[in-house]
Amino acid sequence: MKAYLDNAATTPVAPEVVDVMSNFLKSEFGNPSSTHSFGRKVKTQIETARRSIAKHLNCEPGEIYFTSGGTEADNLAMHIAVRDMECKRIITSKIEHSAIVKTAEKLEEEGKVSVHWVALNADGSIDLNDIRNTLSDGVKTYVTLMHGNNEIANLLPLQQVAEMCAEFGAVFHSDTVQTMGHYRFNLKETPIHFINAAAHKYHGPKGVGFIFIRKNVPGFADITGGGQERGMRGGTENTGGIMGMAKAMDLAFNEVEEHQEYVSGLKQHMIAELKKRIPGISFNGQSASTESLYTVLSTTFPPTKNNDMFLFLLDLEGIAASGGSACSSGATKGSHVLDGIGALREGQPAVRFSFSRYTTKEEIDYAVEKATEIFEAGKI
């Protein structure tokens, strides 16, 4: 048997998405920038996809820009805020995605901004009072905090932070890559400047995503030449990917509450079974809470001689899990997120299990059984 429990890294592409993309690619090959009928037809379909995505988020189609994924969008939003909106300071945290952390550090090294690393509570949640106190000095600030943490499952109170930023005139971005397709958004009611998504996190294709940029936000492209995406992102659009992304979003949002209930049940079942089978196992951040991101569970096993080999041994049993984020190519070093909340412990394997609507109870039970066997074999 095999068990795929690394859905925070990427999700299986939905069969309906494959069908949409295959049919499109077989029949539609025109360049959407071309003015002849072949190009115009594809352009029309891209705009239909844009309208569909905007409808799900309750925003204007003109506020959606297609990208290659979340990392590009994170970079674009930060560059617009600093370069075009003249923000002099960035407020973010040490447990953000590396696309945020590394880009903020680079801009600070270049002398373009200062970075305030927001204080974290013991469970990794953001200290909202620290944000408020920092913003109160009136410095033009860009606040970027992820909606759902990809490693420890903490959820940001998005509406509360958005309203706080609006109160102080701060520019606000939230990386919603892990929550898009899993929670509903109402962008007309949430005073936020940027959010972003990657299709492969909700059963769409890899290499395509989007960024929401609030109307009237001044900004210029990072990738120039071509003038696509209304001048915001040069380069021929990933037409088949965009079709698949729109279909994946339809599938996700059409039954989002049912998916939440099903996957949350799987997660709580795994927590209960791990507690029963492995005394002393702990859960990082807020990931064991029913109020956390329901697709992610971060665990730390008790000390074992199999610590360094734990993930490899799971893999040999056909179980896909992670030691943290999979967005750094070939990364094997300890998680910067777990390190940021003091959850990296010598001799204790940290394993992230993550779930989707295609995950089964049988996979959960198999993973718990094999993880228990590996732990017992190396128990100190």
**C-alpha of 44 from chain center:** 29
Residue 223 and residue 220: Cα distance in Å, rounded?
9
Q: pLDDT tens digit string along 34-66?
A: 999 999 999 999 999 999 999 999 999 999 999
Domains and CATH numbers, the chain: 3-12+256-378 (3.90.1150.10), 15-254 (3.40.640.10)
Q: What is the pLDDT of residue 329?
A: 45
Q: What is the pLDDT of residue 195?
A: 98
Q: What is the pLDDT of residue 378?
A: 87
Low-confidence stretches of the chain (pLDDT beneath 50): 325-326, 328-331
Q: What is the pLDDT of residue 328?
A: 46
What's the pTM?
0.95
Residue 144: both structure tokens together: 């970027």
Backbone angles phi, psi at 242, to 5 degrees: -65, -40
Contact between 14 and 203 under an 8 Å Cβ cutoff? The reply is: yes
Q: pLDDT tens digit string along 108-117?
A: 999 999 999 9
Backbone angles phi, psi at 359, to 5 degrees: -70, 145
Instruction: Tell me the CB-side half-sphere exposure of residue 205, using CA atoms within 13 A.
Output: 21
Q: What is the pLDDT of residue 344?
A: 82
Q: Which residues are catalytic?
A: 327
